[in-house]
Amino acid sequence: MTVHMDNPSDNILLLEKGVASIDVLLPKEEWRVVEHWFNVGRLGADVSVLAGREAADLLYQEYAAGLPLPPKEILDFYAGTSAWMRAIYFSILQKPQLAARYRQFVLQGIQMDKRG
- Give the CB-side neighbour count of residue 43, counting CA atoms within 13 A: 17
Residue 15: predicted pLDDT: 78
Continuous H helices in the chain: 36-51, 53-66, 72-92, 96-115
Number of Cβ within a 10 Å radius of residue 25: 8
CA R_g for the chain? 14
pLDDT in tens, 25-84: 556 666 666 677 888 898 899 999 999 999 999 999 998 999 889 998 999 999 999 999
Asked whether the predicted pLDDT for residue 7 surpasses 80, the reply is: no
> What is the full DSSP assignment across 28-55?
-GGGSEE-HHHHHHHHHHHHHHHH-HHH
Burial class (CB in 10 A: 0-12, 13-18, 19+), 106: buried
Please report which confidence band the pLDDT of residue 110 belongs to, taking 50, 70 and 90 as the band edges.
confident
| Pair 23, 6: CB distance under 8 Å | yes
**Which has more pLDDT, 33 or 98?**
98
Domain ranges of the chain: 2-115
Count other C-beta atoms under 10 Å from residue 1's C-beta: 8
Return the pLDDT at 40: 87
Give the residue-averaged pLDDT of 84-100. Answer: 93
- Confidence band, pLDDT 50/70/90 cuts, at residue 14: confident
